[in-house]
Amino acid sequence: MTASTKRNVPRNGNRTALSRYDLVLAVIPTAFVVALLSNVLFGIPLRTVLPASSLVGVLALADTLYVNPPIDGR
């Protein structure tokens, strides 16, 4: 067997801290849950809340991928 060649990979000892990217991944389903709850609790039509929650998800992804992209070494 050969040894691993990934010697420059930083080791993060604190795995409990949430990163920015973890929060973005949490925003997307949260937007849809809020949309469904607003439909059930307040009677807002799904044709209104689903596009709004989709827009929230797209904006979160666009911000993460294009405005503040991941940088090597973080």
Number of H helices, E strands in the chain: 2, 0
CA atoms within 13 A on the CB side of 49: 17
Using CA atoms in the order 21, 26, 29, 35, what is the torsion angle rounded to 10 degrees? -120
pLDDT of residue 71: 83
Q: Give percent above pLDDT 90 in the chain.
A: 62
- Across the chain, what does the average pLDDT equal? 85
pLDDT of residue 70: 85
Q: Is the pLDDT of residue 9 over 70?
A: no
pLDDT tens string 35-65: 999 999 999 999 999 999 999 999 999 999 9
Using CA atoms in the order 16, 20, 24, 25, what is the torsion angle rounded to 10 degrees? -40
Q: Answer whether 46's CB lies under 8 Å from 39's CB.
A: yes
- pTM summary value: 0.71
Write the DSSP symbol of residue 18.
P
